[in-house]
Chain A
Amino acid sequence: MLSQILYALPFLAKGFALTLWVSLLVVVLSLIAGVTLGVGLVYGPTPLRWAVRIFSDTIRGIPILVLMFFVYYGLPAIGLHLPSFWAAVLALTLFKTAQVIEYLRGAVGSIPKGQSEAAMAIGLTFRQRLTYVIFPQAFRRFLPPWINGVTDAVKGSALVSLLGITDLMQAINQVIGRTYEAMPLYILGALIYFAVNYALSLASRRLERRFAFIRE
């Protein structure tokens, strides 16, 4: 049993690398999209605000798996052919973007109105107000839940295995298909996911403590 697992380790490592790559892509892309749309939600004109609200509430209201199948099978049906890897990344990014929007809204919303008014009073433009006054303060509130949410991206990435992409989850299933050592391999997989995510949640907790001096 042990020799079989050792033999499979390089294969599992490749899957693990793909899991990390998918997670990283999703985290970075959703951060960009989520912050942009989040600013739109807080400061944008009413139609944009509504559009972002509906987007976020719809995406967060359905299972990520349904969203993934929708994107993966639905896009080719309407004539958009994405490689399955990018379809999976797109679906996971859409989901994560909705979360980032809410983190941003919460973080910006927690900054007292007076800060914005004071910045306006000294004649800062909208862009300056965001860059020098709102974001530096909101950042501290945004960071801990966001890092905590990164674990969701890593866990969510396991679903790409259902689209035939060989991430860690799929690699484990394939090794089991050949060796029939189901339990040891699932436990090994669980431990790998655990190690990554636990490290992330410890980091999030440490940051939260570091920024705990901020008062309402």
Chain B
Amino acid sequence: MGYALNFNLIWRHFDKLWGGLLLSLELAVISIAIGTVIGLVLAVWYVSAGRTVRAIIAAYVEFIRNVPLILLVYLVFYGLPTVVDLAYSAPTSFVLTLSVYSGAYLVEVFRSGLEAVPRGQLDAGKAIGLTPWQRLIHVRLPTMLRITLPALSNTFISLFKDTSIASVISVPELTFGAQWINFNTFRIVEVYLVTTAMYLVTGYILLFGLRLVERRFRAAR
């Protein structure tokens, strides 16, 4: 016991953590954006598709959700380039992985949202003469979004935390920065205290922001 806290070395290398946090956010935002597109397209497709397409989409979702993210990260970074002629940097590889990964989780979120849209709303849309496309854009998607927002916020924050896995392929994000300081200064307790605080504060800011969005949309109901 008798561990004396000394944060001086942490502040001296704080750029590693701060730059890492910014990269974590960047990875999260890009991956979530791509994942949202994947999730929306596949969810809309799923609810109107035939059996075969449904089975394929379900297979994608179930496969990704039941395999550890770290294995997928290794598979894309070390495995994929051995069978296809592709070269990409570690960050690109991670964004690719997290996009496909978040896509699978978001399909589920959007699908259950779409199925929760009351039938009467769609009938009403039909009654006032909207085309199927208009019904989707003006009736189904907005209602679905309102229903799914709480689940969506949770998924987004959880995906932000998942960016820490990028450290295993040496992407210099926040967790990697923390490890660097851990191994180079041995101020172990301090660096993880600061890193924990940075993840917590960022997570809660994200949560607070998303709750504001939720409240705005709930008021529009």
Chain A residues engaging chain B, CB cutoff 8 angstroms? 58, 61-66, 69-70, 73-74, 77-79, 151, 154-156, 158-159, 161-162, 169, 172-173, 176, 180, 182-183, 185-187, 189-190, 193-194, 197-198, 201
Apart from A69-B179, A159-B68, A173-B74, 18 more pairs, CB < 8 Å: A61-B200, A62-B195, A62-B203, A63-B165, A65-B165, A65-B167, A65-B175, A70-B196, A73-B192, A155-B66, A155-B68, A156-B68, A158-B71, A183-B75, A186-B78, A187-B79, A190-B72, A198-B66
Interface size on B, residues (CB 8 A): 41
Binding site for A on B (CB under 8 A): 1-3, 62-63, 65-72, 74-75, 78-80, 82-83, 161-165, 167-168, 175, 178-179, 182, 186, 188-189, 192, 195-196, 199-200, 203-204
Q: How far is the CA of A185 from the CA of B70 in the complex (A)?
A: 14
Q: How far apart are the CA atoms of A182 and B75 in the complex, in Å?
A: 8
> Which of chain A's residues have a CB closer than 8 A to the CB of B163?
63
Once the chains bind, are B72 and A69 in contact (CB under 8 Å)?
no
- Please indicate which of the listed interface residues A66, A176, A194 has the most CB atoms of chain B within 10 Å of its own CB: A66
Quick check: B168 and A162 within 8 Å, CB to CB?
yes
**Chain B residues with Cβ under 8 A from A159's Cβ?**
68, 70
Q: B177 → chain A, closest Cβ, in Å?
A: 11
Complex Cα gap A65–B162 (Å): 9
Contacts of A198 in B (CB 8 A): 62, 66
Q: How far is A63 from B160 in the complex, measured between Cα atoms in Å?
A: 9
Assuming A63-B162, A69-B182, A183-B79, is B63 touching A155 (CB within 8 A)? no
Choose one: B2, B70, B188, B199; the contact of A61 (CB below 8 Å).
B199
20 examples of A-B residue contacts, CB within 8 angstroms: A61-B200, A61-B204, A65-B164, A66-B175, A69-B182, A70-B192, A77-B186, A78-B1, A155-B66, A155-B69, A158-B68, A158-B71, A162-B168, A169-B68, A173-B74, A182-B78, A182-B79, A190-B63, A190-B75, A201-B65
